[in-house]
Chain A
Amino acid sequence: MAAIELEGLTKDYGEVLANDDVTFTVERGEIFGYLGPNGAGKTTTIRTVLGLLSPTDGSARLLGHDVTNEGELIEAKRRLGYLPDSPAFDETATGREILELHASIKGDERSDELLELFDPPLDRPVRDYSHGNVRKLGLVTTFMHEPELVILDEPTGGLDPLMQHRFAEFLRDERERGVTVFFSSHILGEVRRLCDRVGIIRNGRLVTVEPVESLLDRSGKVVRLRAADPIPYDALEIDGVHDLEATLDRGADSEDSARDDSKSAFTECTFTFTGDVNALLERLREYTLLDLSIEEAPLEDVFMRFYGGEVDGEESTAAGRQGTPTEVTDDV
């Protein structure tokens, strides 16, 4: 029995198709990242899985239980922890009162241990909490009853870097204990650090579900090189070169500085390379290089390949991007 099973899940708001035929399975014991830009439909999927929204079509099962049946849903929720993207608690209550309420309804196996790790000011009313402290309290309420499955919507927003690091360590330990983690994010570094598999959603449609490594393979490499003498652009006209950015620097004492060849040659460049590395090295062999680095492309670039020009609201200005249509998504 899988932790989460979605089959053709669709949520149609009339003017927006927030989730369109989304199908995937989250296996027991894995950390599954649900990746997409803001407004892609991540939160809609999560809210449907939790029974907060009813699907227009398709089905969702949580720990083997049909979420559209309230009795079954409640059974699943006994073993579930959920942290929304902006967790909210009764503002007049203190953190301690909130924890007592949660303990009375779903039990408390390990809040002491969690409070050592995430340390919200329990005796202050929630109204005086910072965003980070609300989230820390939320993490305690999410994990305090030893859930088998936790669903986290954008979990690290509002946490400082130290707390983010601690949180990542914590999630890995949870996985070791057998907990299944499903979390959504628009931050690639986070997904890359934590996930076993990743599902990518765009405009309400699931684009792909892959192990995180295969996504990195697919994304290719970032190549940076610096040459002693100008290299003609022709040299890089091979398959798999994207986003080429190059500059020409002949040096001040160059004899033929009057000649304008900046349009046809370069001495320094950066590009994303998805082709065969041997073919690239073959091309470069005849030039004297001062420096060359070939690194794994950041997941941000993988993201760009799926989402085109829009990542987190930031317009890409890189020219020559191939096969990546640009679409703007609505907030859902």
Chain B
Amino acid sequence: MFELTRYDGRHRLKGSVYLSIAMSLLAVIVIWIYPSFSGSFEDVDEEFLQAYPDQIIQMFNIQTMASLEGFLAFELYVFGWIILLGLYLAYLAAGTIAGDVERGRMDILLSMPISRARTVGEKFASLGVPIVVVNVITPVVVYVTALLVGEPLSAADLAAVHLLSIPYLFACAGIGLLASVVGDRTSIAQRIALGVTFGLFMLESLLSGTDYEAIGAIAPMRYFDPNEILLESTYDLVGAGVLIAMTVACVVVSQLWFRRRDIQ
């Protein structure tokens, strides 16, 4: 078991380290500019947030910029994790099955004694490599950089925000996986994955506070809130559970779909 996961995972390792370096750089820049940013306002929230349109504040769920935690929650976690990494994982997952089918690699893979469901499951599991690596390397960089600029962060909250982002990123990958088994071509699957993931983000953030807020419940973004973790030390374990359930549902539906389809 897990031969395909091990094989794919090994091949994802190098890219995952590069991804972590990129995200760490983003983190370092955000933390590094924070002291000079906060030093240039008497009251950041009063003066700075007024300058943003309400829609943007709502979309990015900006709570406060008066502390490094609030600043990080927006600049790094909402923007970097929920949007950028979420989209990236959906995109990566969309390339898994569709890419192998399109390039003809699936033929040889499936000529081996391995079920289609297992193929889908193992390939999906290999996405755990970038998800875990980026969430192990980056928090260390964030913690150390925050210490260096004299704005120490709670290690527990920092660990929690990264830990709880793992089910979120898996859920985004699950959306990509669905697109990957449904789409005939990699480029189409990737476009579907990016479109759906970004659409869900918009849906969730724009509908919150309206009568239609309930519709946003289908979006993974509802169940991972960096602000709440970093500012209030509240860990939404139920939300994490919902994300895991969403991931499992995406994988199972993908497996059922892939079992039935013709591989041209």
Q: Which of A13-56 contact B (CB under 8 A)?
A: 47, 50-54
B140 within 8 A of A: no
Could you tell me if B107 and A74 are in contact, using CB atoms closer than 8 angstroms?
Answer: no
Q: Which of A162-194 contact B (CB under 8 A)?
A: none
Instruction: Known A97-B7, A105-B114; judge A86-B104 contact (CB<8 A).
Output: yes
B18 vs chain A, min Cβ distance (A): 14
Instruction: Known A92-B11, A97-B7; judge A74-B114 contact (CB<8 A).
Output: yes
Instruction: Known A54-B262, A70-B116, A92-B11; judge A77-B104 contact (CB<8 A).
Output: no
Q: Which of A63-96 contact B (CB under 8 A)?
A: 70, 74-75, 77-78, 80-82, 84, 86-90, 92-93
A106 within 8 A of B: yes
Q: Bound complex: CA of A102 vs CA of B259, how far in Å?
A: 21
Q: Bound complex: CA of A78 vs CA of B211, how far in Å?
A: 57
B111 vs chain A, min Cβ distance (A): 4
Q: Bound complex: CA of A74 vs CA of B264, how far in Å?
A: 19
> What are the residues of chain A within 8 A of B3 when measuring CB–CB?
101, 104-105
Whose C-beta in chain B lies nearest to the C-beta of A52? Answer: B263
A155 within 8 A of B: no
Q: Bound complex: CA of A51 vs CA of B6, how far in Å?
A: 25
Q: Bound complex: CA of A50 vs CA of B103, how far in Å?
A: 18
Q: Which of B200-237 contact A (CB under 8 A)?
A: none
B217 vs chain A, min Cβ distance (A): 35
Could you tell me if B113 and A105 are in contact, using CB atoms closer than 8 angstroms?
Answer: yes
Could you tell me if B7 and A53 are in contact, using CB atoms closer than 8 angstroms?
Answer: no
A199 within 8 A of B: no
A309 vs chain B, min Cβ distance (A): 29
A272 within 8 A of B: no
Whose C-beta in chain B lies nearest to the C-beta of A78? Answer: B113
A111 within 8 A of B: no
Instruction: Known A53-B263, A92-B11; judge A138-B108 contact (CB<8 A).
Output: yes
> What are the residues of chain B within 8 A of A10 when measuring CB–CB?
none
Pick the contact of A106 from B4, B107, B113 — CB < 8 Å? B113
Q: Which of B98-130 contact A (CB under 8 A)?
A: 103-105, 107-108, 110-116
Interface size class of A (residues with CB under 8 A): 20 to 34
Q: Bound complex: CA of A77 vs CA of B11, how far in Å?
A: 26
Instruction: Known A53-B263, A88-B103; judge A141-B115 contact (CB<8 A).
Output: no
Q: Bound complex: CA of A102 vs CA of B104, how far in Å?
A: 16
Q: Bound complex: CA of A141 vs CA of B103, how far in Å?
A: 18
Could you tell me if B263 and A84 are in contact, using CB atoms closer than 8 angstroms?
Answer: no
> What are the residues of chain A within 8 A of B262 when measuring CB–CB?
52-54
Could you tell me if B105 and A77 are in contact, using CB atoms closer than 8 angstroms?
Answer: no
> What are the residues of chain A within 8 A of B116 when measuring CB–CB?
70
Q: Bound complex: CA of A98 vs CA of B263, how far in Å?
A: 21
Q: Bound complex: CA of A324 vs CA of B105, how far in Å?
A: 39
Pick the contact of A47 from B113, B115, B263 — CB < 8 Å? B263
Could you tell me if A102 and B107 are in contact, using CB atoms closer than 8 angstroms?
Answer: no
Counting chain B CB atoms within 10 Å of each CB, the highest count among A47, A75, A82, A88 belongs to A88
Query: Per-residue CB proximity of B222-264 to A under 8 Å, as 1/0?
Result: 0000000000000000000000000000000000000110111
> What are the residues of chain B within 8 A of A106 when measuring CB–CB?
112-113
B196 vs chain A, min Cβ distance (A): 27
Instruction: Known A101-B3, A104-B3; judge A77-B259 contact (CB<8 A).
Output: no
Whose C-beta in chain A lies nearest to the C-beta of B117? Answer: A70
Counting chain A CB atoms within 10 Å of each CB, the highest count among B6, B11, B107 belongs to B107
Q: Which of B72-120 contact A (CB under 8 A)?
A: 103-105, 107-108, 110-116
> What are the residues of chain B within 8 A of A86 when measuring CB–CB?
104
Q: Bound complex: CA of A110 vs CA of B139, how far in Å?
A: 48
Whose C-beta in chain B lies nearest to the C-beta of A138? Answer: B108
Could you tell me if A89 and B112 are in contact, using CB atoms closer than 8 angstroms?
Answer: no
Could you tell me if B105 and A90 are in contact, using CB atoms closer than 8 angstroms?
Answer: yes
A20 vs chain B, min Cβ distance (A): 17
Pick the contact of A89 from B105, B110, B264 — CB < 8 Å? B105
B8 vs chain A, min Cβ distance (A): 9
Q: Bound complex: CA of A148 vs CA of B210, how far in Å?
A: 65
Q: Bound complex: CA of A82 vs CA of B114, how far in Å?
A: 14
Pick the contact of B104 from A54, A84, A104, A105 — CB < 8 Å? A84
Q: Bound complex: CA of A163 vs CA of B115, how far in Å?
A: 34
Instruction: Known A70-B259, A74-B115; judge A101-B7 contact (CB<8 A).
Output: yes
Could you tell me if A70 and B115 are in contact, using CB atoms closer than 8 angstroms?
Answer: yes
> What are the residues of chain B within 8 A of A101 when measuring CB–CB?
3-4, 7
Pick the contact of A88 from B4, B7, B107, B113 — CB < 8 Å? B107
> What are the residues of chain B within 8 A of A84 when measuring CB–CB?
104, 107-108
Question: Which 6 residue pairs across A and B have the least CB separation, nearest first?
Answer: A82-B111, A88-B104, A77-B113, A52-B263, A104-B3, A78-B113
| 30 CB-based A-B contacts, threshold 8 Å | A50-B107, A50-B110, A52-B110, A70-B259, A74-B113, A74-B114, A74-B115, A77-B111, A77-B112, A77-B114, A78-B113, A80-B111, A81-B111, A84-B104, A87-B104, A87-B108, A88-B107, A88-B108, A92-B11, A93-B11, A97-B7, A101-B3, A102-B112, A104-B6, A105-B4, A105-B112, A105-B113, A105-B114, A106-B112, A138-B108
Instruction: Given A81-B111, A106-B112, output 18 extra A-B contacts at Cβ < 8 Å.
Output: A47-B263, A51-B110, A70-B116, A77-B111, A80-B111, A84-B104, A88-B104, A88-B105, A89-B105, A90-B105, A92-B11, A101-B4, A105-B4, A105-B112, A105-B114, A106-B113, A138-B108, A141-B108
